[in-house]
Chains A and B, each alone.
Chain A
Amino acid sequence: MVAMTGYLLESAWPAITRLGVEFLTRVEWDPVQGIFGALPGIYGTLLTSVLAMAIAIPVSLGVAIFLAELAPNWLRGPASLLVEMLAAVPSVVIGLWGLFVMVPVIRSPIERWLGQSLGFLPFFQGPPFGVGFLAGGLILAIMALPILTAIARDSILAVPSSQREAMLALGATRWEAISQAVLPYARSGIVAAAMLGFGRALGETMAVTMVIGNGYRLTPQLFSPGNTMASKIAIEFNEASGDLYIGALVELGLVLFAITLVVNLLGRIMIRWMAPGQRVGAQQ
């Protein structure tokens, strides 16, 4: 780890010294003139990941509640297995599926409809490309779903059943028992799940690279092609020439590394703090 940070720093050094702090705030990315700015990449990474979380957190919470509380016993095993298998599918395959199956669907019904009915919002303006931030966010939501579900389910299962029974005995409906007794009890586990899922989404490369469309701009329009830090690196690294260009890409990787490190550490600390000695989701 230490070696990794060291080498990354050393290799990014020409870029860090030459580009300075402006690297983080600049919008242009022009290798020919040696101008590099990371802001659209950082923005793209955060935008797609936040979008993914906005979709994946409610869905995976629903799945986790279903698996932990509602599913009959014969269904619980197979359903959990299927959701977890989603995590096993290689990201390049999900990207392939996203590019050829999901993107056309996004382009024609979804983005057109959003543009027509909600077009007054800045997010839903612009031509429907199909590939872009929205597609990237959706694919990340799919990829973050299994880990979110697994940890949220484990922390819901860890809630003592006396909590539920007390609510039900007071005449609460099942949903009221879940939302007012179980979920608050499992809250820290769910937050930790969200953090780890967020970390996963931030660093995910291949699937996003294939559906995000390789643009590089700072725009609120979700239909616009964009780039994340990871996809920018994946697309350009082999073509990069010169210390400065490579250094800039490495520095981009360094920024990504730092962000995921912080997010993951927070998630781990929360898991440990939530269940001392139990280590829910330690193998995820």
Chain B
Amino acid sequence: MIGQYTRRKVTNYLMLTLCGLATLAAIAILLLVVGYTAVNGLPYLNLEFITQTARPLGEPGGGMRNEIIGTLILVGLASAIGLPVGLLAGSFLAEYGDGRVGTAVRLVADVLTGVPSVVIGIFVYIIMVRSMGTFSALSGGVALAIIMLPIVARTTEEMMRLIPATYREAALALGISRWRTIISVVIPGAMTGIVTGSMLAVARITGETAPLIFTALGNRFGFSGLLNPIAAMPLQIWRYATSAYDTWHQQAWAASFLLVIFVLFINISVRWLTARRYGYTR
């Protein structure tokens, strides 16, 4: 009997230790990824990297100004398209979304979240690039907007549902119309949540690469209009990383570090804001 008791205790400690080790491993991977990016990228991340364009191969220095500007434009375009539509869709789901249509839209939004970003890229390639005859910044923005849409819509919905029904009823009882209630009562109340959700969506699309291959294409010569190909940081990281030149690899690390800093900053500040606002920690 003693033997069985010992065995149970040993199994207990063994399995619990394994669980702890798994957690350590998961955290270690994050620290390794971020750490390597910092160590390899930081030495090359300087003013020149942000303000200069790429130099020809063999010349040291140079930077990613075009790519940084391109990414900003793409993300701006995507936000200009994706945020309003997502907001409207989310409002619809929260306020009118209890019927069959709402369920269907919700399901589609959930499924759209799971569609591989390559497939979205191909889709935009077919509807925009092919019909317009050229790769363009606009199509890149649209592809990113499609990725961001379900995220924004779903967070908006969740946040607006947190507003108590009594608020709506009070507004309606004062004779205020439905849309006015939504705009002046419900949306301001849910604003923090909506903003944080939108920030997360922006962080998500900033690092997206796959759909840009078929839409924005990349462009070495700086921004030249929304209907022309445009450079983007994630694209350039990919091109540089799979090239054979050390100087390009360094640029890729530096750009990665910039991306990681940006994305982690948004994510952590969002966590901090929501934890303070709603008083839960996750």
Residues of A within 8 A of B (CB): 1, 3-4, 7-8, 10-11, 58-63, 65-67, 70-71, 76-77, 79-86, 88-97, 99-101, 142, 145, 149, 173-176, 178-179, 196, 199-200, 202-206, 209-210, 230, 233-234, 237-238, 249-250, 253, 256-257, 260-261, 263-265, 267-268, 282-284
What are the residues of chain B within 8 A of A62 when measuring CB–CB? 18-23
Of residues 197 to 256 in B, which have CB atoms within 8 Å of A's CB atoms? 203-204, 206-210, 213-214, 217, 234, 237-238, 241-242, 249, 252-253, 256
Q: Are B15 and A238 in contact (CB under 8 A)?
A: no
CA distance A61 to B256 in the complex (A): 30
Contact present for A83 and B154 (CB under 8 Å)? no
Once the chains bind, are A92 and B237 in contact (CB under 8 Å)? yes
Contact A95 B19 (CB under 8 A): no
Give the distance in Å from the alpha carbon of A237 to the alpha carbon of B18 in the complex: 43
Q: Which 10 pairs of residues, A with B, have the shortest CB-CB distance?
A: A90-B207, A203-B116, A62-B22, A264-B114, A173-B12, A205-B210, A175-B12, A62-B19, A66-B19, A93-B256
Q: Which of B58-66, B105-113, B162-170, B171-179 contacts A (4 or more CB under 8 A)?
A: B105-113
Quick check: B252 and A96 within 8 Å, CB to CB? yes
**DSSP class of A's interface residues: helix, strand, loop or mixed?**
helix
Whether the pair A89, B33 counts as a contact (CB closer than 8 A) is yes
Within the complex, what minimum Cβ distance (angstroms) separates A41 from chain B?
12
Contact assessment for A234 and B33 in the assembled complex, using a CB-CB cutoff below 8 Å: no
Given A175-B11, A250-B126 in contact, is the A90-B234 Cβ separation under 8 Å? yes
B267–A63 contact, CB under 8 A? Answer: no
What is the bound-complex CA distance between A223 and B240, given in angstroms?
25
In the assembled complex, the CB of A28 is this many whole angstroms from the nearest CB of chain B, namely 22
Q: For the complex, is B29 an interface residue (Cβ under 8 Å from A)?
A: yes
B103 to chain A, nearest CB (A): 10
* Residues of chain A with a CB closer than 8 A to B253's CB: 96
Residues of A with C-beta under 8 A to B119: 4, 8, 203, 253, 256-257, 260
Q: Which residues of B contact A96 (CB under 8 A)?
A: 37, 237, 241, 252-253, 256
Q: Is B118 within 8 A of A233, CB to CB?
A: yes
Chain B residues, Cβ within 8 Å of A257: 115-116, 119
Partner of A97, one of B8, B36, B110: B36
Collect the chain A residues with CB atoms within 8 Å of residue B29's CB.
Answer: 86, 142, 145
**Contact code string B15-54 (vs A, CB < 8 Å = 1, else 0):** 1101111110111011111101100100000000000000
Question: Judging by beta carbons under 8 Å apart, are B241 and A95 in contact?
Answer: yes
Cβ B23 vs Cβ A238 within 8 A: no
Q: How far, in angstroms, from A249 to B118 measured CA to CA in the complex?
A: 11
Asked if A149 meets B111 with Cβ closer than 8 Å, knowing A66-B20, A95-B241, the reply is no
Which residues in B have their C-beta under 8 angstroms from that of A196?
A: 114
Contact of A206 among B209, B217, B264, B282 (CB under 8 A): B209
Q: B268 at interface (Cβ–Cβ under 8 A)?
A: yes
Which of B114, B120, B127, B259 counts the most chain A CB atoms within 10 A? B114
From B31, which residue of chain A is reached at the shortest CB distance? A82
Closest to A80 in B: B282
Q: When chains A and B are docked, how far (Å) is the Cα of A7 from the Cα of B120?
A: 11
Are the CB atoms of A91 and B207 closer together than 8 Å?
Answer: yes
| Given pairs A97-B33, A196-B114, A256-B118, 14 additional interface contacts (CB within 8 A) | A1-B111, A62-B22, A65-B19, A79-B23, A91-B210, A93-B260, A99-B241, A175-B16, A176-B12, A200-B114, A205-B210, A206-B209, A233-B118, A282-B154
Asked whether B217 lies within 8 Å of A238 as measured between CB atoms, the reply is yes
Instruction: A282 to B113: give the CA distance in the assembly, Å.
Output: 10
Q: What are the residues of chain A within 8 A of B126 when measuring CB–CB?
A: 7-8, 10-11, 250
Q: Check A97–B37 contact: CB distance below 8 A.
A: yes
* Distance in Å: Cβ of A81 to nearest Cβ of chain B: 6
CA distance A267 to B123 in the complex (A): 24
Cα A66 to Cα B117 in complex, Å, equals: 32
Complex CA distance for A234 and B121, rounded to whole angstroms? 10
Contact (A63, B154) CB under 8 Å given A261-B111, A268-B111: no
Tell me which residues across on chain B come within 8 A of A206, comparing CB atoms: 209-210, 234, 238
